[in-house]
Amino acid sequence: MKKLTFENIGMGGVLGLMSFFLWSCENADDIQELEDSIDSITGSLVDVESRLEEEEEKLARLKEWKEVEERYQASSAKFEAVESELKLVKEKTKELSIALKAASLDFFKYRNQYRSMVRAKAKGTLIDLSSVKGAEYKGVRISRITPLELRVLLPSGPKGVPYALLPEEHQHRFQFSDEEANAYRQAVAKLRIARAKENRVIDADKENEEAITQLTENAAAIADKKSQIASMTRRIKAKELEAERLESLSRQWQIEENNSKRRGKKYSANSRATKASDEANKIRLAILRAKEIVLQLRFEIGQLLKVN
């Protein structure tokens, strides 16, 4: 007999079969087979219900995902719209920034031109001043206007009145400002530093030039002293040879005189042997003095080399 399942006959078939088998079964074996079929159908029914719940859960998740996707698409559309609007705002901001920069440059240019014109016209004119500290200057002539002060000619001489001490009306008239004053101070400081560096360079060049001149003079002096040493050394050698020759002659003549004395011949104290010996001694003294001069020259050369 073919095994019955829920998939084969469906729910209606199951109920019909159950009624039929209960009515028509004649023995216990058929009843047992029917019970087995019922158990199998019941198990299949449980499986179907379980799968049905799983499918319902999947369907619910799909619906949630679909809603999320729809919200994401809506958000993406809004984001693209905002991004496009932001891009337009950035472009507009850039245009406004360029326009503002150009306007600022035009304003600064106009302000500087106006300031220069006002100050140039004021130069040489008479003005009555009263500083915030109480000093008054009547009918004084303006000699110069700098970013830091108004310079006037007084009977006692020129005088500079710092712009901060001027009345507000004069500060406004001559376009004084802290910004201009600070920029002017910085420019003056940089100029002074540059001039100081330039002066140091000039001083260094001068020192180098003096050092080169000194080195040149020292080199010339050393060369001259070396030349003197060489000349004196040659003369010393010649004098030493001359002294040796005279000493040799003196010894030879002394021997001859001694031999003559033994033979009874007399010689004066101023004999030629004595003269030769005296002359040799004089030359030896001159050689010693020359050697001292050579030593002094060498010492001076050493001092000059230390300076170099």
* The pLDDT value given to residue 27: 52
Query: Of the spans 45-54, 65-74, 287-296, which averages the highest pLDDT?
Result: 287-296
Assessment of whether the complete model's pTM goes beyond 0.75 = no
Q: What is the pLDDT of residues 193-209, one digit of tens each?
A: 888 888 887 777 777 77
Q: What is the pLDDT of residues 259-268, one digit of tens each?
A: 887 777 665 6
Rounded percentage of the chain residues whose pLDDT exceeds 90: 19
User: Domain residues of the chain, as ranges?
Assistant: 6-83, 203-307
What mean pLDDT is predicted for residues 276-285? 92
* DSSP string of the chain, one letter each residue: -PPP-HHHHHHHHHHHHHHHHHHH--SHHHHHHHHHHHHHHHHHHHHHHHHHHHHHHHHHHHHHHHHHHHHHHHHHHHHHHHHHHHHHHHHHHHHHHHHHHHHHHHHHHHHHHHHHHHHHHHTT-EEEEE-TTS-EEEEEEEEEE-SSEEEEEETTEEEEEEGGGS-HHHHHHTT--HHHHHHHHHHHHHHHHHHHHHHHHHHHHHHHHHHHHHHHHHHHHHHHHHHHHHHHHHHHHHHHHHHHHHHHHHHHHHHHHHHHHHTT----TT-HHHHHHHHHHHHHHHHHHHHHHHHHHHHHHHHHHHH-
